[in-house]
Amino acid sequence: MLPLIGWSLLALAAAAEPRHALLISNSNHPFSKSDSQAMRARLEQFHFTVDARENPNAEDLRSTVAALAKQTGTVLFYYSGKSADYGSDVQLLPADYSGGKPDQKSAVPLAELIYTLEAGGAATRILLIEGGFVKSGQSVYLTNLYGAPGTFLAFAASQSECGETAWKGPNSPFTTKLLAALSTHSSLEEAYLEARYQTMRDPAAKQTPWAGDSLTEDFLFDGPKQAALSDSEAAAGHKAWLEVQQSSGADVLRAFLKQHPNGLHAFQARRLLAAREGRPYQETPLTARPEKGIPKTAEKPFREAAAKEDAGDRPAAVAAYSEAIAAKPDYVLALCSRARLLAASNELPKAVQDVETALAKDPRSGFCLTVAGQVYRAMRRNDDAFRVLSSGIQSHPWWQALNERGLLLENLGELDLALADYQQAIQLSPSTVAARVNACNVHNSKGQPAQALKFCNDALALDSRDARAHNNRGMSYIMLGQFDKALADLDLAVELAPDMYSGYTNRGFVLMQLRRMQDALRDLDRAAFLAPGNVTPFLYRATLKINAGDEISAQADLDRAERLQPGIVKRSLARKSAVSQTGLADR
């Protein structure tokens, strides 16, 4: 996702789409005026035309929303004030509300405003309701408030929360967190999830934001998302590969390779074609070229870079490696060392340039071939990744190259081949933790938790603070139904690696089994934020909401999962519910 720093071309292009916002601030909420001012400043950065109103009465509120409904493109309604859950609807209470049961003259039903907007010309309607609820002793099914496609509705607090907190301002808790999230997230859904997570974990806020939507695609504040051609090609290639695997002829494989010569599954197709043609399969090895001597002007900064890297100072290490490369532009070890750090910072185009320069000089460097495999795999150039890793292993078996190739094979579903690579890596380096953790994960994927536990236990005996080992062992305990043990491991995994989405996903699942639904929802929200392209958190969260009777909100998660992985919800329904699809059990 693009960071919102400066003015990107996408942010400028967003002006072409009509965007209008209506901001309502009512003095019955302590931060309403500052909320409206701060929200206006942020929305205007995203090219919204903003109309801000202070303390409108019920009639004025209806008329301004009716004017907003006449706009096209995207409309946003932001309300900072008190609400009440009287009758069968949420009522927005104007500043002059004097108490008692709201009526048409003293309050405005939120559903009425939503229906007005849905009947208008805007394709996308965003409603953000700030402030707490006035207690009425009644309950409203809030998720019934949206229905037409293209609506996103978010509340800063649940019905049981009146918004009276120890918060000091200058803005309301949820608005504060949302404005901060919009500084780094263009996506409406991602920004909301981050704001919700940060609000719930802040003890001074004492609020539980929630949302539901009927969006058909995510809304981006900084402009329309540009589809990546490589992603669409990869998806098409993967779909074709699934079909090819069901065939038995060699001609189908040849046609696949002709259409997808460098796709995600090209090397698998070549290996399968060789087997069907009855011939041995072998990748074309790379040829070698000797490297010349290293001058002292390059050797000194290289040693300094290595020391800084060991000390954890990545930027300084990259700068020192760059100095060494400036002294000797074809310094293979320096190029590949810098590439590894650049790849870790997600600077993949620069990293691939470094490794390809290095391999042009020394195509047999085991270290560089392994780094190149890491970089190519990160770029989803799996065919290139397999080629360079296999070439490195062929010339000099190295445990890290085997481990990296195992990851590649595992991601492509070749679990037995991946396990063989991990086991060979362990034989070459008995002290390796990473290969044991990965072997543990493969056994989990194969439905063999007992075998998985052996590898994870061995890994934790070598390093008790390895987050992935705790996460994978937690998965083994889940499969064995030992949820208390799983929770202990997953608590450690999340503590050791706060940004590892799988830890939150797995812990959320365990908390669901332990009937700690609020804690489970918080973890699944965090997982969905950290990995918005992964379907599992959305399916788990949908299951949680279905079990809670919130089927409309659950549908929004199922819709998101379907957009990410077409057919996943259909397969869930074929098994009668999302529960059986995700492997969740109603315990």
Q: Are 200 and 229 in contact (CB under 8 A)?
A: no
Tell me what percent of the residues of the chain surpass a pLDDT of 90: 37
In this predicted structure, the answer to whether residue 453 has a pLDDT above a threshold of 90 is yes
Q: Is residue 79 predicted with pLDDT exceeding 90?
A: yes
pLDDT one-digit tens code per residue, 85-106 = 655 567 888 877 777 677 777 7
In words, the CATH class of domain 289-396 is mainly alpha
What's residue 354's pLDDT? 95
How much is the average pLDDT of 5-9? 29
pLDDT tier at 287, thresholds 50, 70, 90: very low
Start-end ranges of CATH 1.25.40.10 in the chain? Answer: 289-396
pLDDT value for 515:
92
Which comes out higher in pLDDT, residue 9 or 468? Answer: 468
Q: For residues 370 and 339, is the Cβ–Cβ distance under 8 A?
A: no
Residue 283 has pLDDT above 60, yes or no: no
Q: Which residue has the higher pLDDT, 222 or 327?
A: 327
State how far the Cα of 561 lies from the Cα of 567, in Å rounded to an integer. 9
pLDDT digits (tens, 9 = 90+) for 338-384: 999 999 888 999 999 999 999 998 888 888 999 999 999 989 898 88
pLDDT of residue 141: 34
The encoded tokens of residue 51 equal 């109309």
In the chain, where does the domain assigned CATH 3.40.50.1460 lie?
9-213
Q: Which of 267-281, 285-299, 450-464 ranks highest by mean pLDDT?
A: 450-464
Enumerate residues 6+ apart whose C-beta is below 8 A from 521.
508, 541, 544
Mean pLDDT lowest for which of 146-160, 380-394, 454-468?
146-160
Q: What is the pLDDT of residue 406?
A: 94
Residue range 116-139: average pLDDT? 74
Contacts of 310 (CB under 8 A, 6+ apart): none
Tokens of 63: 């008329």
pLDDT greater at residue 80 or residue 142: 80
- Of the CA atoms within 13 Å of residue 255, those in its CB half-sphere come to 10
pLDDT at 493: 95
Mean of the pLDDT values across residues 259-277?
A: 70
pLDDT at res. 477: 95
**Region 477-494: what's the mean pLDDT?**
95
Provide the percentage of residues in the chain whose pLDDT is more than 70: 80
pLDDT at position 265 is 64
Q: Residue 272, Cβ neighbours under 10 Å: how many?
A: 18
Which pLDDT belongs to residue 54? 93
Residue 136 vs residue 34, higher pLDDT: 34
As a whole number, mean pLDDT of residues 481-485 equals 94
Q: What is the CATH number of domain 9-213?
A: 3.40.50.1460
In 3D space, the residue among 248, 247, 244, 246 whose CA is nearest the CA of residue 257 turns out to be 244
Contact partners, residue 8, CB within 8 Å, separation at least 6: 2, 222, 223
Report the alpha-carbon distance of residue 532 to residue 519 in Å, rounded. Answer: 19
**382/261 Cα distance (integer angstroms):** 11
DSSP string over 193-225: HHHHHHHHH-TTT----EEEE--SS--BTTSPP
Residue that wins the pLDDT comparison between 310 and 321: 321
> H/E/C letters for each residue in 90-111?
CEECCCCCCCCCCCCCCCEEHH
DSSP characters for 459-483? HHHH-TT-HHHHHHHHHHHHHTT-H
Q: Does residue 122 surpass a pLDDT of 90?
A: no
Q: Looking at the predicted structure, is the pLDDT value of residue 483 above 70?
A: yes
CA 190 – CA 582 distance, rounded (Å): 23
- Kind plus residue range of the DSSP H or E element containing 419: helix 415-428
Q: What is the pLDDT of residue 94?
A: 82
pLDDT of residue 267: 61
* Tokens coding 58: 């019920």
Name the nearest CA neighbour of 302 among 280, 286, 290, 318: 318
Q: What value does the mean pLDDT of the chain take?
A: 80
- Residue bearing the bigger pLDDT, 359 or 257: 359
Report pLDDT for 575: 42
What distance in Å separates the CA atoms of residue 284 and residue 475, rounded to the nearest whole number?
A: 39
Residue 514 clears pLDDT 80, i.e. is over it: yes
HSE value, Cβ hemisphere, 13 Å, CA-based, for 401? 22
> How far, in Å, CA of 179 to CA of 169, rounded?
13
Highest mean pLDDT among 206-215, 224-233, 385-394: 385-394
pLDDT of 85 reads 66
Q: Which residue has the higher pLDDT, 396 or 9?
A: 396
pLDDT of residue 268: 67
**pLDDT, tens digit, for every residue of 534-546?**
889 999 998 888 8
Instruction: Tell me: pLDDT of 581 over 70.
Output: no
Residue 569 CB contacts under 8 Å (≥ 6 apart), including other chains: 558, 559, 561, 562, 578
> Among 447, 441, 449, which residue's Cα sits nearest to residue 471?
441
The one-character DSSP state at 295 is -
pLDDT-derived band of residue 582, with 50, 70 and 90 as boundaries?
A: very low
